[in-house]
């Protein structure tokens, strides 16, 4: 005998009519949530390490390139800067480097990065020459750990980093396009969030940024990791391993952090401008006494003369916007940094305006040339006819007629003049 499903204990339609889910469905969903959480915890993050080479592009692991939606901005608008901040906390810098205690931050910047204040033939070497390209490390196989080991050559022990910087994005969706996920990479038959690892000097970030997470203490002690094969000079280079703490940092756009990271080390604003705008500012460098509007117009003119494709300008406009968002998240309070970002942002929009004006002028010139072409087609071939045409005279002047005596009253009519009687 077939049991009537309406009389059974499992009646999903009854709960559906009441607007409530069935208890069995609720129980299955409640079990599914912790299971998925455990599965995500066991699944490692995919990390990338660039061996400290800040000038290299991020390797593309997907078969198709990620499509970035270009933001549609009607006008440049105004950027909210953080110049009102007093600057980084000196106590954070003193805790990281106790030898800098009671030293003003401006003097520390000049000692660490003398590129900004270095004069010709001063010979002042920087204490931190910038990102070292000899670091190697293994990416973490699980979630971001608290410590990681870095392996470097023996000649780079003087510039040993103090921390690992793990940059990732907490946003599930892209801020510019809510329909697209944040940058992810295919790994283990699924897409995982991208995490980038950089060996850094924590004092460099502390001198530039106000909004940083708590920086863990670091005491790097090098240990011999392994011995490489002899080189051409029959020397045995040693590889030293140093265990460093990891500093996690979330940014809206981790893919554009490298230009800012280089600027923090070198204070080279001209190269920073070239990285985020795609064009050199001008040669020679601009005068410091120039006004902001003059620099912006010069930058827009350079872009309009070099770039022929609008998509390139739109691409760099998005890069400038991403750099601006990262600077807000880090709390950069350097006035010169914000001046450079605003100048690049407004110059990008003015370049589009200049390109439109230039295009309209070219269209008008082509139209004038086309009209001139049709005018020249109607011109006579003889030189005399051309001159007469330019002065609006007929090519053959009218014939002069001899004066003729008036007809007599007894005549039969007016006298006709023949061709033989004309004077040419």
* Highest mean pLDDT of the ranges 22-26, 30-34, 329-333, 351-355: 329-333
Residue 202 has pLDDT above 70, yes or no: yes
Say yes or no to pLDDT of 113 above 60. Answer: yes
- Mean per-residue pLDDT, 61-70: 36
Domains of the chain by residue range: 14-41, 44-57+77-265, 268-370
Q: Is the pLDDT of residue 192 over 70?
A: no
- What percent of the chain is helix, strand and coil (3-state, nearest 5)? 40, 15, 45
Per-residue pLDDT reduced to its tens digit, 229-274: 665 666 666 777 778 888 888 888 887 888 888 888 777 787 887 7
Residue 152 has pLDDT above 60, yes or no: yes
The predicted model scores a pTM of 0.59
- The residues, any chain, with a CB within 8 Å of residue 62's CB and separated by 6 or more, are 185, 186
Looking at per-residue pLDDT, the higher value among 101 and 158 belongs to: 101
Residue 225: predicted pLDDT: 66
- For residue 339, what pLDDT band results from cuts at 50, 70 and 90? confident
Question: What secondary structure does DSSP assign to 359-386, as a single string?
Answer: HHHHHHHHHHHHHHHHHHHTS-SSHHHH
Q: Which of 34-48, 127-141, 185-199 has the highest mean pLDDT?
A: 185-199
Among 286, 304, 393, which Cα is nearest to 347's? 304
Here the tokens at position 297 are 């117009």
For residue 419, pLDDT over 50 is answered with no
The dihedrals phi and psi of 165, each to the nearest 5 degrees, come to: -105, 115
Confidence of residue 418 (pLDDT cuts 50, 70, 90): very low
Q: Which of 337, 348, 252 is nearest to 82 (CA)?
A: 337
Reference 81, options 252, 347, 330, 270; nearest CA is 330
Question: CA 345, CA 350: separation in Å to the nearest integer?
Answer: 9
Over residues 299-327, mean pLDDT: 78
Within 10 angstroms of residue 249's Cβ, the number of other Cβ atoms is 21
Pick the more confident residue, 341 or 384.
341
pLDDT at 252: 81
Alpha carbon 7 to its chain's center: 66
pLDDT confidence of residue 288: 55
pLDDT band at 122 (very low <50, low <70, confident <90, very high): very low
Highest mean pLDDT among 153-167, 332-346, 365-379: 332-346
Percent of the chain scoring above 70 in pLDDT: 43
Smallest CA-to-CA distance from 8 within 24, 19, 20 is with 24
Q: Is the pLDDT of residue 138 over 50?
A: no
| Range of lowest pLDDT (64-68, 188-192, 342-346, 368-372) | 64-68
Cα(47)–Cα(197) distance, rounded to whole angstroms?
7
CA 372 to CA 175: how far, in whole Å?
Answer: 53
- Residue 378 DSSP label: T
Residue of higher predicted confidence among 186 and 335: 335
For 66-84, the pLDDT digits (tens) are 333 334 444 455 566 566 6
- Percent of the chain beyond pLDDT 90? 0
Residue 197 CA to chain centroid, in angstroms?
Answer: 20
Dist. CA 238–CA 152, nearest whole Å: 9
Range of 85-99, 153-167, 174-188, 390-404 with top mean pLDDT:
85-99
Lowest mean pLDDT among 14-28, 145-159, 249-263, 315-329: 14-28
The better pLDDT of the pair 124, 146 is held by 146
Position with higher pLDDT, 396 vs 52: 396
Residue 53 has pLDDT above 50, yes or no: no
Q: What is the pLDDT of residue 323?
A: 87
What is the mean predicted confidence (pLDDT) over 178-186? 52
| Averaged confidence pLDDT in the chain | 64
């Amino acid at each position: 005998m077939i049991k009537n499903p309406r009389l059974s204990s499992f009646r999903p339609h009854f709960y559906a009519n009441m607007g409530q889910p069935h208890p069995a469905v609720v129980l299955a969903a409640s079990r599914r949530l912790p299971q998925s959480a455990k599965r995500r915890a066991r699944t490692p993050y995919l990390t990338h390490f660039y061996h400290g080479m800040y000038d290299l592009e991020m390797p593309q692991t997907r078969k198709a390139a990620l499509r970035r939606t270009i933001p549609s901005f009607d006008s440049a608008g105004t950027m909210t800067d953080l110049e009102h901040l007093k600057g980084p906390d000196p106590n954070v810098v003193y805790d990281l480097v106790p030898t800098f205690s009671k030293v003003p931050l401006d003097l520390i910047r000049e000692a660490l990065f003398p590129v900004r204040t270095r004069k010709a033939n001063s010979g002042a070497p920087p204490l931190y020459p910038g990102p070292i390209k000899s670091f190697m490390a293994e990416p973490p196989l699980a979630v971001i750990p608290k410590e990681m080991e870095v392996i470097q050559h023996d000649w780079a022990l003087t510039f040993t980093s103090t921390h690992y910087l793990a940059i990732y994005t907490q946003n599930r969706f892209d801020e510019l396009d809510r329909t697209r996920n944040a940058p992810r990479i295919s790994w283990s038959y699924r897409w995982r969030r991208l995490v980038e690892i950089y060996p850094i000097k924590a004092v460099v970030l502390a001198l530039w940024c106000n909004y940083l997470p708590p920086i863990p203490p670091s005491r790097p002690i090098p240990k011999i990791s392994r011995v490489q094969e002899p080189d051409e000079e029959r020397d045995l280079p040693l590889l030293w391993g140093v265990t460093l703490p990891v500093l996690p940092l979330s940014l809206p756009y981790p893919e554009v952090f490298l230009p800012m990271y280089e600027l923090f080390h070198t204070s080279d604003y001209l190269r920073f401008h070239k990285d985020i705008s795609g064009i050199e500012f001008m040669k020679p460098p601009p005068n410091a006494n120039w006004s902001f509007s003059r620099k912006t117009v010069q930058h827009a003119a350079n872009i309009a003369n070099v770039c022929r494709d609008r998509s390139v300008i739109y691409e760099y406009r998005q890069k400038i916007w991403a750099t601006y968002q990262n600077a807000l998240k880090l709390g950069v309070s350097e006035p010169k940094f914000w001046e450079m970002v605003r100048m690049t942002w407004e110059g990008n929009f003015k370049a589009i305006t200049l390109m439109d004006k230039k295009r309209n002028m070219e269209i008008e010139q082509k139209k004038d040339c086309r009209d001139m072409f049709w005018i020249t087609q109607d011109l006579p071939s003889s030189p005399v006819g051309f001159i007469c045409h330019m002065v609006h005279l007929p090519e053959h002047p009218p014939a002069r007629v001899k004066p003729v005596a008036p007809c007599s009253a007894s005549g039969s009519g007016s006298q006709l003049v023949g061709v033989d009687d004309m004077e040419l």
